[in-house]
Amino acid sequence: MKNEVKNIDISGQKTVTMRDAQSAHAAGASRVLVCENSVVTPSARDFLAQHNIVLVMSGQGKTATQSVHKESSGATGSGAYGSGSGAPKGRNASNPKLFSTPEAEAIKKEICEVGRKLWLRQFVDGNGGNISYRIGPNEVICTPTLVSKFDLTPEDMSLVDLEGNQIAGTKPRTSEIFLHLEIYKEVPEAKSVVHCHPPHATAYAITGKVPPNLIVPEFEVFVGKVAISPYKTPGSVEFAQTVLPFVKQHNTVLLANHGIVCWADTVTHAEWYAEVLETYCWTLMLASQLGVPISHISEQQGSDLLAIKKKLGLPDIRFDTSRMKECQLSDLEVPNSIALNPTPCDGNTGRPSEADLEMLVKSVTDAVMGALAAK
Ligand SMILES: [Zn+2]
């Protein structure tokens, strides 16, 4: 743990780039002071976080000085980022003390448990996936970068503000935090965000298609219509903002060529939605191999499920009748859905049935045996 802090003041710059971050690191900085109005590129933020350099937003017009302060990280119990002086002041001031409250400790444990669920269910590989919880108006607890979700411990967690600045925690925060933060800023009801790469749901995400509706009741109630956001490079703010058109009316979004993201009122519930979506996509794929058409529940039965969903307070774009008519509860005709209905095994499909194939094999075998016998 460092006892001394070296500040590098670049608050005169309008933009802070990766090169600035690298120069600050080379100069031995432990804090970089920037103007709160300046733009810090995501790669610069990540580089600073990965090198345990705190980004300090100074107030407009305030002159930060290069100085050495005493900092005892143990004093606040919140680790290398925990002095609190790294938090932006004023409108977006954040409170690093929220990182060590009894509520925060319980949330950290819940995040670890959910991380292990994600890993055990093969929803994350390597250090993939990330989990967060909004513990205050401007404070979010999140998983660190480069740690397997199976191995998470409460001590690994980070605290960030809504702009992605790390304000507490000993490990650098996930590089995909901006995806979470955009959702928190857009949806006040969102208390937790889980991002992962479950294989069957991701299979849909790489086809650019969403699963159809009105097939399995649990999916209708807990997830319902899934949106798909366009592909952008993960970790960038541009990527994070791709979900903005969807997150108010969908608690689950497929991220094209990447994975999924879910939000909920608790960490556990956000992970449940990932499970519900993944199992649904998997079930559809299995059903498509059975050789018979998938049967759907009726529009009226779908309306009954939507009524249950409304009572539970869960979002669904189908509540917005100005955007979607009741007759579109089932989206079989809606572009961008994929029904995965298998080709019927009989009828005029152009494909031979199993009985036809058996007859064909038998007739060829008979012909060959007959020819051999004639010799
Ligand atoms: Zn990812």
241-261 pLDDT tens trace: 999 999 998 999 999 999 999
Element containing residue 141 per DSSP (H, E)? strand 139-142
The residue behind tokens 């590129």 is 41
Q: Cα torsion for 185, 187, 192, 196, to the nearest 10°? A: -90
Contact 342, 292 (CB under 8 A): yes
Q: Which of 21-35, 282-296, 301-315, 357-371 has the lowest mean pLDDT?
A: 357-371
Per-position DSSP letters for 30-49, written without gaps between them: SEEEEETTSEE-HHHHHHHH
For this structure, is 176 an active site residue? Answer: yes
Which of 71, 139, 176, 275 does the annotation list as catalytic?
Answer: 176
Average pLDDT along the chain: 80
Q: Is 218 exposed, middle or buried (0-12, 13-18, 19+ CB in 10 A)?
A: exposed
- The Å distance, Cα 127 to ligand 1 centre, comes to 9
- The Å distance, Cα 261 to ligand 1 centre, comes to 9
**pTM (2 d.p.):** 0.66
Instruction: Report the chain's C-alpha Rg in angstroms.
Output: 26
- The Å distance, Cα 24 to ligand 1 centre, comes to 29
pLDDT digits (tens, 9 = 90+) for 144-185: 999 999 999 999 999 999 999 999 999 999 999 999 999 999
Tokens of 265: 């009122």
Element containing residue 54 per DSSP (H, E)? strand 54-58
